[in-house]
Structure 1
Amino acid sequence: MSGNFEGKKVIVAGGSTGVGLAAARQLQDAKAQVTITGRSKEKLQQAAAALPGINTAAVDSGDRAALDQFFQEHGPFDHLVVTLSGGKGAGQFSTLPLQDLQEGFEGKFWPQLNTIQAALPHINKAGSITIVTAVSSILGLPGTSGLAAINGSLELMIPAIAKEIQPVRINAVSPGVIDTPWWDFLPTADKKAAFDSYAAQTPAGRVGKPEEVADGILFLARNNFVTGTVVRVDGGLSL
């Protein structure tokens, strides 16, 4: 049986840009009551301007006390989407500063777990949690061992958590290379070259769009018979 989102309260952690913003837009279009969180007040303001009627809250998901307070004040809700991500952890292992890898965990792994734990007492039993990982967890490409550690660790936890928190459901969406602001650390020409290279390796023949990952998020949140699962939205890059 599949549910709908009309009147449902949904929180999108890290929803001010990229995949999170695309998911918030689709959830709002589906008549959900959506609240997006993020650290940057400026980005939240921009998101609110792009999505009139959206609720925003400045919350640092690395601050457990702030998360506990936010969920306590927000009250019971139906679905949680966690799109929090950091920008560190990539690079050849032989030269990868382990401090960068630690900061990569602190930017994604720990904030995602803190958000889930803080949310659990407040999520409705018929609700769901959907996190966003990355296909680097299984690709085995040179330069991605650190990213594999971060995203793979999250994915490995999903089945066990699903059994522990039932009947609340938890799943993950694992994107491939997606054209989002995450890639803006690269100069324009370098980003285009990287996208062209990944597109050539991808059966779909291109990099993905945030809206395509958001489609996967909404599927997992809507379908009441899916839990403990990782859905890959990667254009076939992992094949």
Structure 2
Amino acid sequence: MRVVIMGGTSGIGLATADLLTADGAEVIVTGRDPDRVAAVKTATAASVDATSDEDLTAFFASTGPFDHLVLAFSQGHTGVGPLAAIGPDHIRAAFEGKVFPYLSCIQKAQVTSSITMISASSARSTLPGITALAAANGAIERMVSPLAAELAPVRVNAVSPGVIDTPWWSFLPEPQKEAQFATAAESLPLKRVGRPTEVAEAIRYLLTATYVTGAILPVDGGFTVA
């Protein structure tokens, strides 16, 4: 099994690379941060700027056909805050850091079996201050079904994580992050935040579930039902 993980040098993407490599898969991960790219030990790592059409074209030309594409880009915390307080640049960045690169990768990649996109539970959240993130992740989840129909027999699915302990939260001071995690955990049926490996296990399932397409799989500790 040959897998390309775009945005796979940190967090959920890296956890997925580690898991699939341990399973015996051939894994290529990409990232923009040269230090993170150099630090990857379990998979082949390449420096790719997914916002660059030239970078993506050259990268996918070099990989040729492969089995599975995992899209794990993050726009970071850009766009977090009350809508009235964030500028248009931050709103655009929420899409330019994730939605548009996802679409560009899907256009260029020579995938033969499946595409799995990482969205987020913000797509279905009523929490204030995340409107831009909700819009971006909602756009990703909404395009799963038409892509599954258009690209068949290639399967297209999404994993929708809730609050996961990843470097995404590094913009908060540690005490504030821990308080945020405690509040989130209390609101969830499972009473804890998630681990990157738990999302990676869901991604692995979708890669190997040959009769599943057009699905959005929540991995959120019960956020969806709560």
Q: Secondary structure at the match of 1:89?
A: coil
For structure 1, list consecutive stretches of 5 or more residues without a partner in the other structure. Answer: 1-7
Q: Over residues 58-100 of structure 1, what are the superposed CA-to-partner deviations in whole Å (9 max), with x where a residue is unaligned?
A: 1111111211111111111000111001121211122222221
Per the alignment, residue 101 of structure 1 pairs with: 91
Once residues 89 and 176 of structure 2 are traced to their aligned partners in structure 1, the CA distance between those partners, rounded to angstroms, is: 25
Q: Secondary structure at the match of 1:171?
A: strand
Q: Secondary structure at the match of 2:175?
A: helix
Once residues 195 and 120 of structure 2 are traced to their aligned partners in structure 1, the CA distance between those partners, rounded to angstroms, is: 14
Counterpart residue type for residue 99 of structure 1: D
Per the alignment, residue 173 of structure 2 pairs with: 187
Q: Secondary structure at the match of 2:127?
A: coil
Once residues 11 and 154 of structure 1 are traced to their aligned partners in structure 2, the CA distance between those partners, rounded to angstroms, is: 19
2:124 alignment partner, one of 138, 145, 163: 138
The answer as to 2:111 corresponding to 1:123 is: yes
Per the alignment, residue 51 of structure 2 pairs with: 62
The answer as to 2:137 corresponding to 1:151 is: yes
2:198 alignment partner, one of 212, 217, 223: 212
Per the alignment, residue 4 of structure 1 pairs with: none
Per the alignment, residue 201 of structure 1 pairs with: 187
The answer as to 2:162 corresponding to 1:173 is: no
The answer as to 2:218 corresponding to 1:225 is: no
Q: How many residues align?
A: 224
The answer as to 2:220 corresponding to 1:234 is: yes
Per the alignment, residue 3 of structure 1 pairs with: none
Counterpart residue type for residue 111 of structure 1: P
Q: Over residues 173-212 of structure 1, what are the superposed CA-to-partner deviations in whole Å (9 max), with x where a residue is unaligned?
A: 0000000000000001110111011011111101000000
Q: Over residues 87-122 of structure 1, what are the superposed CA-to-partner deviations in whole Å (9 max), with x where a residue is unaligned?
A: 212111222222211111111111111111111xx1
Runs of 4+ deviating beyond 2 Å: none
For structure 2, list consecutive stretches of 5 or more residues without a partner in the other structure. Answer: none
Over the aligned positions, Cα root-mean-square deviation in angstroms equals 0.9
The answer to whether the 8 A contact 1:64-1:118 is kept is: no
Once residues 102 and 217 of structure 1 are traced to their aligned partners in structure 2, the CA distance between those partners, rounded to angstroms, is: 28
Once residues 114 and 209 of structure 1 are traced to their aligned partners in structure 2, the CA distance between those partners, rounded to angstroms, is: 28
Per the alignment, residue 25 of structure 2 pairs with: 32
Percent of pairs identical after alignment? 43
Counterpart residue type for residue 102 of structure 1: R
The answer as to 2:10 corresponding to 1:22 is: no
Once residues 95 and 204 of structure 1 are traced to their aligned partners in structure 2, the CA distance between those partners, rounded to angstroms, is: 33
Once residues 151 and 202 of structure 2 are traced to their aligned partners in structure 1, the CA distance between those partners, rounded to angstroms, is: 22
Name the TM-score, length of structure 2 as normaliser: 0.97
The answer as to 2:112 corresponding to 1:112 is: no
Name the TM-score, length of structure 1 as normaliser: 0.92
Once residues 96 and 66 of structure 1 are traced to their aligned partners in structure 2, the CA distance between those partners, rounded to angstroms, is: 30
Q: Over residues 23-46 of structure 1, what are the superposed CA-to-partner deviations in whole Å (9 max), with x where a residue is unaligned?
A: 001110111000001111210111
Once residues 58 and 120 of structure 2 are traced to their aligned partners in structure 1, the CA distance between those partners, rounded to angstroms, is: 29
Once residues 114 and 85 of structure 1 are traced to their aligned partners in structure 2, the CA distance between those partners, rounded to angstroms, is: 15
